[in-house]
Structures are given as structure tokens and as C-alpha cells.
Amino acid sequence: MDILGSLFAAVIRIINLGITLYIYIVIASALISWVNPDPYNPIVRFLRNATDPLLDRIRRVLPVQMGGFDLSPIVLIFGLYLVSALLNSLAIGMTRGF
């Protein structure tokens, strides 16, 4: 069981790495939205394609606008940190055998 728990913990760490990378993508997308980027730029298109589906869902459920600022990236980052913390506690539990 110890080997299986360690393998599961390693998979969770890889998922956490993906979550961390996605958080950086969300931050980059939010920062680039402050300027008027070229919509045909491949980097801008990647950032939009990677973040807009989740951000649009958040905007539909929670209309989080405050003084013209869109707070949906903050809500998404908070949710991703929450998922990451839950996965970390699960990984710790798996390595210790609950």
C-alpha cells in the first residue's frame, strides 16, 4: 500500500504543477486584458482560448464586476488554490496511510 500511496501522491503533485501553471496563465491573461492587445497575436489567442471558457462560466454564475473591473480571474485563482490545497491534503493523507 505504501508504494501505491506514493505513486498516487506523485500523480497529485503533477496535477498541482498543472494547476500552478494554469494560475500563471490566468494571471497573464488578466494582465494582458488591461492593454489593447492584437487579437490575432498567437500568444493572446492562446491565453484567451485557455482561460475564457472557465472565466465565462464564472461570469455567468457570479456577475463579479466592481467599478468596471472584472473580478472573475480572482475567483478562478481562489478556486484553483482551494483545489490545490485539497489535493495536497489528500496526498499527505495517502502517504501517511490516512
Residues 17-32, mean pLDDT to the nearest whole number: 95
Distance CA 76, CA 23 (A): 8
Q: Find out whether 76 and 26 touch, Cβ atoms under 8 Å.
A: yes
Condensed to tens digits (0 to 9), the pLDDT of residues 32-62 reads 988 988 889 999 999 999 999 999 999 888 8
User: Does residue 1 surpass a pLDDT of 70?
Assistant: no
Query: For the chain, what percent of residues have pLDDT higher than 70?
Result: 93
- CA-closest candidate to residue 27, choices 95, 97, 78: 78
pLDDT confidence bin for 97, thresholds 50/70/90: low
Inform me whether the pLDDT recorded for 95 exceeds 70: no
pLDDT: is 87 or 9 the higher one? 87
